Amino acid sequence: MSPEQDQPAAPLDWLQARLQELHTDNRMRQLRIRESPHVGGMIQMDGQQMVDFGSNDYLGIAADPRLVEAVRRAVSEHGWGSGASPLVSGHGVLHEKLERELATFEGTEACVLFPSGFAANLAAITSVCGPGDLILSDRLNHASIIDGCRLSRATVRVYGHCDAADLQQQLRDRNSFGRALIVTDSLFSMDGDLAPLEKLADIRQRFGCMLMVDEAHATGVLGATGRGWAEAAGVEAAIDIRVGTLSKALGSVGGFVSGSRQLTEWIRNRGRSYIYSTAMPGAAAAAGLAALQIVRDEPARRNRLMEHVESLGLLLTEPGPVPATARASAFLVPNSPATQIVIVMAGAGQRALKWSSALREQGLFVPAIRPPTVPVDQSRLRISISSAHTPEQIRRLADAIQKLFAEESGPDETC
């Protein structure tokens, strides 16, 4: 019997049932359309003007006129497309300048630039580890780290989140492997907490491991000069491989790996996401340069951001006018030190969505984070604070969240 006679299902028919599953489980992701730049802590999406607590533009740089002007100038001088991968002919003078300035900023010998932080992690991990090696990866590491680990074909062991004791335990047979790599986010994007870098540095030393830290959410935000959590924690000398991104606090696009000259040379020769991908446009590198300049020249942005963090924390936990204030701390995830990523735990995906849409009705954009980004039953609101916010906007958010909690603990609530 020929396949034609069976009227077989079209090859992609299975998608309908799987998409329906996502709907049923409240996991369907909806693409929203942003109609405004990120300016003044505000955003317009799907026709609605809202205070923006859902971007990674932590320093309010993404729409800065200086970046816009740098891009304008770069495009008129260098055109748009880079035309090739870096090793062929895509690496222009602006890329070169940005790599040098990033290395200077990071206080490392050298730096290698990627079109994204995702690509930077893939290249870094797969360049330094392969079959026969061992990678120790924090359970809550970013997806790009997880994928880099998988692609490396090394043995991967996932240790408990920020659990140095578990990490050490999992290194007990370290000597049956070749190289060993400990890899971690510095500031965890979905939890807002910080890796125990001092302990990891100690374990690196004792077990002869390489230590790689991804500062994506901390670059430009933490540390006296904005280099990240390793700077703030005073452990930079123990970090062998540092990853950062230009796409978050720097308001631009692109990722980078910084470290020794030998490390970056090796990555340029081994990192497939570097070798086989077109270099970012030179104008994007120009934006990165302008952003880096702002980070260096305007520490007041970091300070203002941290003031907002502190005041939101106080507003959400201190006794306030709403009677059910105590409930706030029941949902609020306490991080010490607190960071610009503030988490309100909802549990069920449906509740996170309900909260998010209630806030949206009040003109506050706070995204609900659901599986698979977070474990089942750990859906949450993720508040991203920016130095572009005003104290008034922070207060509005705190009041609205307090009201949500008050409703949650209404008269028919039993717990």
Ligand X SMILES: *Cc1c(COP(=O)(O)O)cnc(C)c1O
Q: What are phi and psi of 39, to 5 degrees?
A: -135, 135
Residue nearest ligand X, Cβ-based: 117
Decide if 145 contacts 185 (C-beta within 8 A): yes
Nearer to ligand X by Cβ, of 121 and 378: the residue is: 121
- Among positions 142, 204, 304, 351, the unique one binding ligand X when judged by CB under 6 A: 142
Q: Is 144 in the site for ligand X (CB under 6 A)?
A: yes
Interacting residues with ligand X between 22 and 51 (CB under 6 A) = none
Q: Considering the complex, what minimum distance in angstroms separates the CB of residue 185 from ligand X? A: 4
Interacting residues with ligand X between 268 and 327 (CB under 6 A) = none
Give the number of residues in contact with ligand X, rule: CB under 6 A: 14
Q: Is 152 in the site for ligand X (CB under 6 A)?
A: no
- Among positions 58, 118, 256, 355, the unique one binding ligand X when judged by CB under 6 A: 118
- Among positions 82, 245, 335, 379, the unique one binding ligand X when judged by CB under 6 A: 245
At which residue do the structure tokens 């000398």 appear? Answer: 237
Nearer to ligand X by Cβ, of 116 and 277: the residue is: 116
C-alpha span between 285 and 114 (Å, rounded): 10
3-state secondary structure of 298: coil
- Among positions 55, 121, 384, 387, the unique one binding ligand X when judged by CB under 6 A: 121
Q: Is 380 in the site for ligand X (CB under 6 A)?
A: no
Decide if 207 contacts 240 (C-beta within 8 A): no
Q: Is 216 in the site for ligand X (CB under 6 A)?
A: yes
Nearer to ligand X by Cβ, of 295 and 328: the residue is: 295
Decide if 59 contacts 302 (C-beta within 8 A): yes
CB atoms inside a 10 Å sphere around CB 203: 20
Q: Is 227 in the site for ligand X (CB under 6 A)?
A: no
CA distances from 155 to 135, 181, 345, 386 (A): 6, 10, 33, 39
Give the distance from CA 203 to its chain's centroid: 25
Nearer to ligand X by Cβ, of 142 and 301: the residue is: 142
Using only the alpha carbons of the chain, give its radius of gyration: 23
Q: Is 126 in the site for ligand X (CB under 6 A)?
A: no
Q: Is 189 in the site for ligand X (CB under 6 A)?
A: yes
Q: What are phi and psi of 340, to 5 degrees?
A: -75, -5
- Among positions 117, 148, 281, 349, the unique one binding ligand X when judged by CB under 6 A: 117
Nearer to ligand X by Cβ, of 58 and 118: the residue is: 118
Q: 35-42: long-range contacts at Cβ-Cβ below 8 A with a sequence spacing of 24 or more?
A: 37/62, 37/63, 38/62, 38/63, 38/251, 38/388, 39/63, 39/388, 40/388, 40/390, 41/386, 41/388, 41/389, 41/390, 41/393
Nearer to ligand X by Cβ, of 264 and 273: the residue is: 273
Q: Which residues bind ligand X (CB under 6 A)?
A: 116-118, 121, 142, 144, 185, 189, 214, 216-217, 245, 247, 255
